[in-house]
A and B are shown apart, each in its own frame.
Chain A
Amino acid sequence: MRRGFPRLLSLLLVTALLTGCWDHIEIEALEFAFGLGVDQVEPDYVVVVEMVKTSGGGQQAEVEPLVLATKGKSVSAAGRSLSNPAGLRAFWPHAYVFLMSEQVAREGIVPAVENIVRSRYIRSTVWVFITKDCTAEEVFKSKPPAANSVSEHLNAIALMQETISGFIPLQVWQLSQAFAAEGIAAILPTVKLVHEQGDLVPIVEGTAVFKGDRMVGWLDGHESDILCLLKGIIQRCYFVIDTKVGENEFFPITYELVGNRVEIKPQDKDGKLSVSIALDLHFSVEEMGRAPYSFRDEAFARSVQAQLATAFTHWIREFLSKTQQEYNADILGFGQLVRRKEPQVWRRLGENWDVHFRDLPVDLEVKCKVTMAGLSSEPLRVRE
């Protein structure tokens, strides 16, 4: 106790004398890398980096993006070699997005993504995207209307997935989890460039489907919404459906998905495996156009719900045949489910899951319910 003070002092001394401040960095010397892209793996890696350059000081700070591309023997080597031409020290832990071009995805993404998974510098919460019909470099060089940089733009979109819909955002750790798990195929959201008031603007829409680490095909925005439904991810997407009203009139009515409950169960009957999907969807009516009917009319409501159920059953069937037969990629994780719920069956079938998955019978039961119709139950009437 009497030695408390000298001990504190010696602690200070040891720290002061021993530490040469090896890890000391000055924050103003860093430039923050926000995005990383890989456009090519063979024969050389082509790596694109988006950094933000800060300047100013005092009270006003300015931030502008800077895109650099280079070639290298590996992602990390290329990334580091960028510091030389840029004359900047890139700081990686604040990276938002990681992009890979379709070419890389087709050839297999493990060589591109391995560094991101392992790295101490890049956080495992980085969003991963596949660029469709364009390269990562083009995406980074496009001009988002609101955000300072493309990476921030994509990050904002990913965070707004619930309302934007049409894709499923994925962080790198989820990707690695999907790779490591048995009986589930990986998916990644896709980035496209569209023309918006003369500028090229990146949007996120659709899904890239993988088998192993190779991309086997695309899902468009609508199919991605269906995928979302089946995965039980909450997404308030709009569906505009030509609804039959009355005798033989069709009106486009906009429905918003407000609730979805999904239950997928593997069933093993007499050695025959099947999967049953029970979907319970709740909708709210957003827009009825000229449709002259009221949701107070129960018969009408029932007919609408039946039509919705038919439409969704149809879409889901199409979706399932696409994944099962066309891509043969178990993106819904039926295999994983079988392994978890029916381990005995998985022992038997796990070896050739591809084959079994292709022809796996799926029982589908879709229940739809309109729970809300905005604030008015009647359509907008115009007096003649």
Chain B
Amino acid sequence: MKIGIDVGGTFTDAVVLDKGHMRAFAKRRTTHGQIMDGLLAVLDAVCKDVPVEQIEKVTLSTTIVTNVVIEGKEEQTDLYVIPGPGRNVEEAFPVKPIQIPGYTDHQGRVVAYFNRKEVKALMKQEVQAGHRPAAVSAKFAIRNPSEEQALSDLAKQSGYRLVSEGTKLSGALHFPRRTVSAYFNSAVQTTFSDFVKGVQDALKARHIEAPLYMLKADGGSLPIGALTQMPVEAVFTGSAASVLGMKALGGMPTSMAVALDMGGTTTDISLWKEGQPIRARGGVTIRDYPSAVQSFQVESVGIGGESYVSLRKDGTWQVGPERRGPSMALGGESPTLGDALIVAGYADFGDKEWAWQGLTQLTVLMGTFSTNKQRVELGQAKGQKQAVITKQVDKDKVEQVAKAIIEAAVDTIQEGIRRAVTRENKRAVYTVQDIVEAHRFKPESLVGVGGTAGALAPLVAKAMHISVLTPKEAPVANAIGAALAKETVQVSLYCHTGKQELTVPELGLQESNVGIYSMAELLAKGQGYLQDLAKQMGIQENLIVEVVAKEDFPVLDGGYRECRIMNLHLQGKAGVDTYVRD
């Protein structure tokens, strides 16, 4: 049996899954400041009737790292960079970097070694100032990690408690992103380790001996031991859990699809191709700094079931992004999109009378607006209850207002979908073939999950003239996504067949005389390295190897000999290992 726990912004959910069947689930308020309390509360709730020895695996998706970076509470960290010539990076990172002269070029040739003596002296001085962690990153270290590695070794020797290296976190081009990843990786490590220790102690106290896993932003999971080396990967895992949850609950169409996760305040839009969510280019942005942390591409719009409704100056309806509380049908004080959905007959929950009350208020407001051409603020709905009820308002008119409000919400969501699709279709491509035979993303179907999806998703689909699917609602989809997340790791290979050199930055590896001449040979080698890395990280399952990207260039050596430069990026395929049935 597998346990999945998802710590979200509002709720902490837990689920126990037995081969695709949900054995137990629980939902508790997230306890901000004391995440562990809420977490233990759901854990205890779901474990009540489950024999602990049958638990095989516990997977967590938490906001612990997210909260640290959003609140700027990360630990003070010394950032050493070897930027070489190029862009000025003085202001590119969350802290002022300590810049070390030296340079490795785009071919991985060390043009200038950094001065070991000077750097050692400098580090000694810095370390004395406090017992801080450090992060190191060098431009083009992905082509030759030796200088970055040397800098890291020196930092450890100089007494830094822990050191993160950019290339260990990402083998992709983009020095600033790798550097930002390395910085945050070191800066959140203490908080992360403390949290992990807390969870481990709690599991132990409950005699749960199953291994602990944690979800990463890229939708894969890792054994906790491995993730402790790369805690930055556990940032912003909420949307990954949500996307995996959709997949686990089954039936993502194989056509090009738009998925909407419709909550109380926001709707998260993801795009799907062949049953797989599309990944974001580059990586997630952490406090305005683009990092190399991989994720799915998710676009958020401020429309949800509890979106506050107000009248704009021009007489049109403003729906969201503000939320003032629950819908009036659920005891709230101001009318919401959810109330409009009830009045228009698309939803059926709570006290309908109150929903009508709220919408009648808005109708009167609209009437006053039409005659005076002046904007009127809606007061506290409950306070005005008497006044409204005495007025006879035509039922049709109220329904019309509800429909206009829903239309405005659907427009906003469609706008968000258009933005997501445009971004996908503007993805840079670099070959004539990809331009001439452009593969444009065009949504063919829509999938809606979340509290508001049943009522609203069909309306969005109708406006877009595409089919809609609203899978049966599971109240703890994100926890299910976390529980079933496959384990993933990534490796990047860069091979120059002329020089017979191979670099695998994530492994800190540079080999010569590799005997590789073709992409097929490189792929075979890469698969081996991926499995090695998986083993090293304590992954037990067999990974399904996915080619994320590959490039194969015929190039000329200095002596006009033809050879090839090949780039290969492999990962264990992300996704879920089983589907959940009712």
A and B held together in a complex: no
